Amino acid sequence: MGRTTGEQLALHGGKPVRTEPLLPGYPGGLLIGAEEKAAVLEVLDSQSLFRHYGPKPLGKVVEFEHAFARAMGTRHAVAVTSGTAALMTALAALGVGPGDEVIVPTYTWIATINAVVVLGAVPVFVDIDETLNMDPRSVEASVTPATKAVLPVHMRGAGADMAPILEIARRHRLRIVEDTAQAVGGRYRGTRLGTFGDLGAFSLQYHKVITTGEGGVVVTQNDALYDRAVRFHDQGSARMQELDETLPGANSLMIGLNFRMSEITGAIGLVQLGRMEGIIERMRTHKRTILDGLTGVPGLTPRPLPDPDGDTGATLMFFLPTGEQTRAFSAALNAEGIRNTVAWDSGQHVYYHFDQIIERRLFSERHCAWECPHYRGRARLEKGMFPRSDDLLQRAIHIDLHPLMTERDEADIVRAIRKVSHALS
């Protein structure tokens, strides 16, 4: 992979491994091209941008929902406007609301927490483990009489260890919503992520494996939960023809929201869904090559995964022995032209340390979650409550991967990491 021994770090005036920055980690976004353009123009030509009607409706959202359900191996899929909308719709379908607790991991995106709180429920944070996903042992210890659901998050392209989480949920009669926003198309023990729980929530935001810019999907195997999800996302569902009116209580309209996906978004989603397997395979290949090249680097521990074969390959993450070493390593690696972040220092995904959550800042003083009269729990959140999560995230370096990486990109990443490791060891 090239000479690294004795080279002066770019941080100290040496020649960087590369001067041209790596492309950012926008897997599906980097592949947007003629097919997506044609799909959008077809919808525009139809003059029918709304999923329910128009002069010449094409039914692209319905087609996308059916295709997404087939790709994930589920009975149903509901296309929505964002990953956040998917989380809210899934939780609402389960009836999560005031008085309920939902267990969430410390390492996640803000939407996981916001969706719980906006519905009036209380997020209960639990530690992650070395996989950087929810630690099942922490879940077990955090169940209370107020717990309604567990919300595992498949972070940075790789699945949480679902088998023990499912067993805990079964034993305590809890519901599960999988936040699969960052791992669309990934698997766990051969089965698609997002399909183990009662419902799965997916994101199609621009940074995700496949993208429509913004967008999301809810999947479920359960007919009744599908019915509720459809109603919630479509204003209570005055017009939805696909609802099963034979289900108990199905003839009653409900109060819902408008999270309907547009026909343009659905059309782009269909094209991107067709790219999903190829994107994942290419990213996995890049990641395997890089990891092989890093074998034996002292002090560097690759992120362990519950099921490496199900990884989407969207990110390369590794640990160093201390937080101080990690920050120094990250700075030196950036100077070598390899864009990276320390999980803790990136300013994102460590929201259990953010003041708006700790101080419970809501848009209305009368909106409740923690303060709801229905809530009898004692969930609290303070900085320093999760030293294990703090330690892991302060020692984790994150590098985005994407399907358009070249052999030179792979080699440069390996060479730069080896160069920095040798210089700082």
* pTM for the predicted model, two decimal places: 0.95
Closest CA to 308 of 131, 73, 99: 131
Beta strand segments in 320-359, E: 341-342
Per-residue pLDDT reduced to its tens digit, 192-235 = 999 999 999 999 999 999 999 999 999 999 999 999 999 999 99
Given this model, what pLDDT does residue 117 score?
Answer: 96
Interatomic CA distance for residues 53 and 60, integer angstroms: 11
What one-character-per-residue DSSP string does 160-195 give?
--HHHHHHHHHHHT-EEEEE-TT-TT-EETTEETTS
Q: What is the pLDDT of residue 363?
A: 86
pLDDT at 254 over 60: yes
Q: What is the pLDDT of residues 369-386, one digit of tens each?
A: 888 888 988 899 999 999
* pLDDT for the residue 348: 67
- The arithmetic mean of pLDDT across residues 146-161, rounded, is 98
Nearest partner of 255 among 97, 361, 368, judged by Cα: 97
How high is the pLDDT of residue 410?
A: 98
pLDDT of residue 2: 47
Residue 238's pLDDT is: 75
pLDDT at 251 over 80: no
The share of the chain scoring above pLDDT 90, in percent, equals 85
pLDDT digits (tens, 9 = 90+) for 256-312: 999 999 999 999 999 999 999 999 999 999 999 999 999 999 999 999 999 999 999
Q: How far apart are CA 227 and CA 230, in angstroms?
A: 5
Cβ atoms of residues 154 and 193 within 8 Å: yes
Q: Is 50 exceeded by the pLDDT of residue 425?
A: yes
Provide the pLDDT for residue 372. Answer: 86
8 Å CB contact between 32 and 279? no
* pLDDT value of position 239: 76
Q: What is the pLDDT of residues 98-120, one digit of tens each?
A: 999 999 999 999 999 999 999 99
Predicted confidence band of residue 250 (pLDDT cuts 50, 70, 90): low
d(CA 185, CA 160): 14
Q: What is the pLDDT of residues 40-60, one digit of tens each?
A: 999 999 999 999 999 999 999
Residues 6+ apart with CB under 8 A from 379: 101, 122, 123, 124, 370
Other CB atoms within a 10 A radius of the CB of residue 202 amount to 31
pLDDT at res. 1: 44
The position carrying tokens 């990891």 is 291
Distance of alpha carbon 340 from alpha carbon 144, whole angstroms: 39
Mean pLDDT, the chain, integer: 94
Span 11-34, mean pLDDT?
A: 95
Contacts of 254 (CB under 8 A, 6+ apart): 228, 231, 232, 236, 237
Confidence class of residue 396 from pLDDT cuts 50, 70 and 90? Answer: very high
Phi, psi of 374 (to 5 degrees): -75, -20
In contact, 382 and 353? CB cutoff 8 Å: no
Look at residue 249 and tell me whether its pLDDT is greater than 70: no
Cα–chain center distance at 65:
19
**What are the φ and ψ backbone dihedral angles of 187, each rounded to 5 degrees?**
-135, 160
- Alpha-carbon distance 178 to 199, whole Å? 7
